[in-house]
Amino acid sequence: MTVTPYSTGILPYIPFFYVIWSDDLLSASEIQVVRTAITADTSLTREEKEQLLSWLDKKNPPGNAEIKSWQQLISKSGVPLVESETYPLEAFALKVAHFYKGADVPNPQLQKIERNLGIQPNHYNHLFNVEVVHQTFATRYSGKALDALLNTKGWEVIREFREFLKQDHFRWSIQRDKSPFRRHVLDQLLLLAKNGWGAYAYPNANGGKEDLETYASIFEHLVFVDGSLAVKFGVQFGLFGGSIQNLGNPQQRSTYLTDAGKAKLLGCFAMTETGHGSNVRGIKTTATYIHEERCLVIHTPGKNDNKEYIGNALDATLATVFAQLIVKGKNEGVHAVLVPLRNPHHEVLEGITIEDNGYKLGLNGVDNGKIWFNQVKVPVENLLDHYGGIDDKGKYHSQIKNPNKRFFTMLGTLVGGRICVAKGALAAAKMALTIAVKHSLQRRQFNDNIKIQEDLLLDYPSHQLRLIPKVASCYVYHMVLQRAMKEYAGNISDDKRKIETQVAGLKASITWFATAAIQESREACGGKGYLLENRIADLKTDSDIFTTFEGDNTVLLQLAAKGVLSDFNAEFNSGGFSSVLRFLGTQLSDRFATINPAYSNKVDSEHLYNPKFHLHALDFRLRRLTYSAALRIRNYIKKGMPSYQAFLKTQTHLLALGEAYSDVLAIKWYYEKLEELPDDTYRTLLYQLGALHSLSTIRANAEWYLEQGYLGGTKSKAIRQRVERLSTELRPHINALVDGFGIPDHLRTAPIAR
């Protein structure tokens, strides 16, 4: 036993005090934790307690010389730090004490400090100059349990589907030449359809299960297989099939939908034109009704009015074509018409021209193409007439009288597709992050000169900060998209304006998040991330277009903003300013509580980790941006500016508003979901993830909060520190967290992630 100035009681506290004082992160409430534990420690004498408590005074902290002597005392003991102990710091402290004094009795108060402060081996093992016995980090969480928690709906089906995907047909391989790639993807699609996976969302009468939520999970899993397959699947069953399901009549459903679900009938969804993507209302293709022949003439009037980027264009025999419906010389607005493209020999029909769109950044297994129509006649029965049709007398009729409302109601059926796109992007992010995390738990680079082994990438603070907040956001967004799909599927009214606003915002936020997360993952894997075999490259190129298709993100955020400004009464797609203007006044009556300086500088951890704070902060931003946008637009209009121009002048403001709306929604729905969960252990973890996501979001807009005085400088800095600290605290659980994404081992084929 070696000499030390400290008594047996004090000694095991020394490593704790070293951890506490080597950094100055402890808040008042955390100091209270330590104080309470010391006071309750019956093994200590009064003098020992006094000594220990005197070291807890933030105003008069222990001096550097003292702290350094603690460090030396610890190092000199030669005791290794064993990360896999249940209470590693307590165990370590007791062993250090044992070295000096021979005492080695578990101390429940030390355990309490260790638990309540949330300190983890990776949080402090850098502090000691001692051997660290790295083992798989002890975590009380299991990936399997998390996976089950994330998949409350359709869990049995998902597990069955994962087994189904074990077949060789779904094994990923590098594909460069688009022709064989497309054939391969088509074969996979047919196999899925044959086994009933495509029709899940359809009515029972059409071979489905009327279960849109499980359909979305199936779609998500296909992203793990291959992005092209997922998109081809979405086009055939979601867009093409979905258009018949949602816009067609019962007769059309029984004629086409059942076969579409079995992929006996392959179809495409021809909405976008070369000249018109975001502005769907402006498409130029016409469907002119000729009463004498009871037919519609589908026509591409000019250059750039052809359909473009149409998935399944080379395989499809039927297309849902969106066109301006002209009846008796009057344009009744955009409607969908089923137009046969090919005969049973797969020859393109007369009047139709189809061209391959060629190679793309990604998704080269999908046959996107351009389609031209030259006076193509189809029977009027081919009009998908749920929202508007032509009667026997050749008269147009619709149960929705207002053409704007009719238009957005029809397009409202795209919402399910937008949720799937966001889910697909999120799946790609999950997979890329899983690969990057698993790689960083094996890959070592650089070390201290003393150590033999180099450090794991994920033990670098910068690497933690790069990946861990993004893993947390995946959990939040996963729950949120489940909720969105549930809301959408459960919404039986035709007025889907609120969910449409919600999904517009979320689709933009989540697809942009995914692009950023995949980019971080690629860079975090260095050169290995650049090799196709490691999958991140394809995830990146395949999902890149998700920020554009099914609604360009910039356009969607403006739609979301219009929804907010009009209290969800906006006519949703292009134009539609007047409905917004009508509601502007109501947004101006909002009252703001003045932010108390004590609040804007409150930095204790309870407060910063509190969901109430997160919701308050994000909601404050939303309300303030709503108010100020409404005020600006109203002022422009008062000065005589046309409303279109007033919206243009405030465009960047509206984008921020749309984003703020999505931010609030995400965290609100996430926390609401956590309230439902029974299991306390996992709730704690999930709340930590929520806090990390929320604080990262607040941090991303810190300059705005500071400008508004909502955050003081100290609090803003504290939030940055908390984001770093939470990332470090979650480090031991990160492997379980990515396993919780439920990507089956057989699909995680990246060599660096094995």
Of positions 131, 356, 552, 604, contacts its own copies by CB under 8 A: 552
Question: Distance (Å, rounded) from C-alpha 43 to C-alpha 60?
Answer: 26
Q: Which two tokens stand for residue 81?
A: 């730090």
Stretch that binds its own copies, among 137-145, 324-332, 445-453, 479-487 (CB under 8 A): 445-453
* 80-96: b (≥16 Cβ within 10 Å) or e: ebbbebebbbbbbbbbb
Strand-pair partners of 268: 319
Nearer to its own copies, 55 or 671 (CB): 55
Residue of 160, 171, 709, 754 interacting with its own copies (CB under 8 A):
709
State yes or no: residue 131 binds its own copies (CB under 8 A): no
Phi then psi for 363, rounded to 5 degrees? 55, 35
Q: Which of 460, 583, 599, 627 binds its own copies (CB under 8 A)?
A: 460
Residue type (1 letter), 116: N
Token pair belonging to 692: 């990390």
Q: Give me the torsion for CA of 716, 717, 722, 725, rounded to 10°.
A: 160
Residue with tokens 């450090």: 455
Shortest CB 207 distance to its own copies, Å? 33
Q: How far apart are CA 21 and CA 675, in angstroms?
A: 36
Q: How far is the CB of 559 from its own copies (least distance, A)?
A: 12
Q: How far is the CB of 109 from its own copies (least distance, A)?
A: 24
Q: Which is nearer to its own copies, 445 or 684 (CB)?
A: 445
| Closest approach of its own copies to the CB of residue 743, in Å | 20
- Asked if residue 588 binds its own copies (CB under 8 A), the reply is no
Residue 226 near its own copies by CB under 8 A:
no
User: Any idea what the Cα angle at residue 548 is, between residues 544 and 553, rounded to 5°?
Assistant: 115
Shortest Cβ 452–its own copies spacing (Å): 12
| Token pair in block for residue 40 | 């309750």
Exactly one of 33, 82, 531, 631 binds its own copies (CB under 8 A); that residue is 531
Choosing from 82, 98, 148, 282, the residue that interacts with its own copies (CB under 8 A) is 282
Of 465, 561, 618, 689, the one binding its own copies by CB under 8 A: 465
CA separation for the pair 428, 422 (Å, rounded): 10
DSSP string, 645-709: HHHHHTHHHHHHHHHHHHHHHHHHHHHHHHHH---HHHHHHHHHHHHHHHHHHHHHTHHHHHHHT
Q: Which is nearer to its own copies, 209 or 649 (CB)?
A: 649
Tell how strand 318-327 and strand 376-379 pair up.
unpaired
Which residues inside 19-48 make contact with its own copies, applying CB under 8 A? Answer: 21-23
Among 548, 601, 610, 749, binds its own copies (CB under 8 A): 548
Q: Minimum CB separation from its own copies for residue 370, in Å?
A: 11
The residue type at 226: D
The DSSP symbol for 204 reads: G
Question: Interface with its own copies includes 283 (CB under 8 A)?
Answer: no
By CB under 8 A, the residues from 49 to 78 that bind its own copies are: 64, 67-72, 75
Question: Is the Cβ of residue 155 or residue 549 nearer to its own copies in the bound state?
Answer: 549
CA–centroid distance for 278 within its chain: 23
**Residue-by-residue DSSP string for 503-514:** HHHHHHHHHHHH
134 near its own copies, judged by CB under 8 A: no
- Among the listed ranges 345-353, 495-503, 562-570, 636-644, the one in contact with its own copies (CB under 8 A) is 636-644
Contacts of its own copies in 510-529 (CB under 8 A): 515, 519, 522-523, 526-527, 529
Told to check if 361 binds its own copies by CB under 8 A, we report yes
Residue number with CB closer to its own copies (156 or 177):
177
- In the complex with its own copies, which residue's Cβ is closer, 385 or 729? 729
> Does residue 131 contact residue 34 with C-beta atoms inside 8 Å?
no
